[in-house]
Structure 1
């Protein structure tokens, strides 16, 4: 398979080099593109020095716009698989082969912290949000999901095409699953380990958490009503 790892990055100069080095160590056969989302630090230089291709956006567009840029790049360069990984080191590169090994089972493979026992621990509020969204998506899709907020994912060409056409803009992980299911895609989870971020701090404050839950819930409900199954390549 021709595999591309997409890493959206905003002010991640302290961690991006090690993330790229780890990917090269465990999966040296893959290509890496860093979507530098209008960073004001040395993220671009650090990523280039580590050996990744870098797409620099002129200003910060957010995770949704950054990821869609990566999927457009994957489609234009005819990659078979596109993998999403965080720039802060939360997604261990040694777990990447698990996602790739499951690609023959689904169109999108999600690395889940909860499909089996793992060492990952989250705050009480974050865990409540994860459970809520997993139950919401499970109800809407009539399939069981355990970790709908996970950004550790591998997508085949069908999903690359879907995401190149549309990708949710703000806090997109949950809505993007419902969007795929409404487009006839197979989505599975595999158990993976994850770490705490290796540098920086999360942008999700308690106030943002409340905003996040309301906004994403409304977006997911609208997505479930709006998108119907479409024919491939339409």
Structure 2
């Protein structure tokens, strides 16, 4: 196992896919925590039998709440970094080491696995693509370098940013973009590494396009109004 990095897999009704994801993660040499976000199926049992640590939420909090729970578990158990990985198989566990290597070689606090860094023809649809480009423009300005995939959920987060997210990570959907912007604004280093995304192994996504666009608009508006959540800056002013 890689003792300094924990793979966190938030899961909601993913009993058909989570076992395979956990097994591949463990086979890749990483400890694994599945946060069962109020599933109504056997997600927790399947994950546990496959070799994961499991935390079961009594109610469904959403992706942000599940991740915050996972971050707190990682901090409490002494991990230096975590990698977020989807339970549906869209993120390849075999690519986790690329994110970890990038973090260790650069010292970055947030490493994002980008679908567009090399494969710029990745199809996300016209409306969603337009919104994602606007978000990438805002993120690039905040980070100070070109960002291509601000909504990717395949990412590595290292201390001290991990500790801040454990306390303040947003519960709402579209938390990935907001977290990136907040980290950059607070002086933490954000980088990308080329990655790939596959089709989900089984089941259906819990979100829908209209809900996604609504939350995207809310997050963008929050950015303009300065209503994002806050974390401690990397280098506090004296």
* Deviation of 1:230 (Å): 2.4
Inter-partner Cα distance in structure 1 for 2:209 and 2:94: 32
Distance (Å, rounded) in 2 between the aligned partners of 1:132 and 1:230: 25
Q: Tell me the CA shift for residue 207 of structure 1.
A: 2.2
Distance 2:231 2:65 in 1: 23
Distance 1:180 1:62 in 2: 21
Corresponding residue number in structure 1 for 2:64? 64
> CA-to-partner distance for each residue in 1:7-39, whole Å, 9 max, x for gaps?
0001111110011111122x22x2100000011
Q: How far does residue 222 in structure 1 lie from its aligned partner after superposition?
A: 4.3
| 2:181 counterpart residue number | 178
Query: Is the CA contact 1:11–1:43 (under 8 Å) kept in the aligned structure 2?
Result: yes
1:208 aligns with 2:203: no
8 Å contact kept, 1:120–1:193: no
> Distance in 2 between the 1:77 and 1:225 partners?
28
Question: Contact 1:115–1:146 (CA<8 Å) still a contact in 2?
Answer: yes
Select which of 9, 12, 15 maps to 1:13: 15
Give, in whole Å, the separation in 2 of the partners of 1:231 and 1:21: 36
User: What TM-score comes out, normalization by structure 2 length?
Assistant: 0.89
| 1:112-151 correspondence runs (5 A) | 112-117=114-119, 120-151=122-153
SS of 2:210's equivalent? helix
1:211 Cα deviation from its structure 2 partner: 0.9
> Within the alignment, does 1:41 sit opposite 2:41 as a pair?
yes
Residues of 2 paired with 1:168 and 1:231: CA distance? 19
How far 1:190 sits from its partner (Å)?
Answer: 0.2
Quote the offset at 1:152 in angstroms: 0.3
Please give the alpha-carbon distance, in whole angstroms, between the structure 2 residues aligned to 1:189 and 1:80: 19
Give the aligned partner of residue 200 of structure 2: 197
Instruction: Identify the residue that residue 96 of structure 1 maps to in structure 2.
Output: 96
- Structure 1: 5+ residue stretches without partners: none
- The structural deviation recorded for 1:120 is 4.4
State the number of aligned residues: 231
User: Runs ≥4 in structure 1, deviation > 6 angstroms?
Assistant: none
Structure 1 residue matching 2:54: 3-state secondary structure: strand
- In the alignment, the residues of structure 2 paired with residue 155 and residue 228 of structure 1 have an alpha-carbon distance, to the nearest angstrom, of 14
Are residues 92 and 141 of structure 1, via their aligned partners in 2, closer, same or farther at CA, if it must alter by over 3 Å?
same
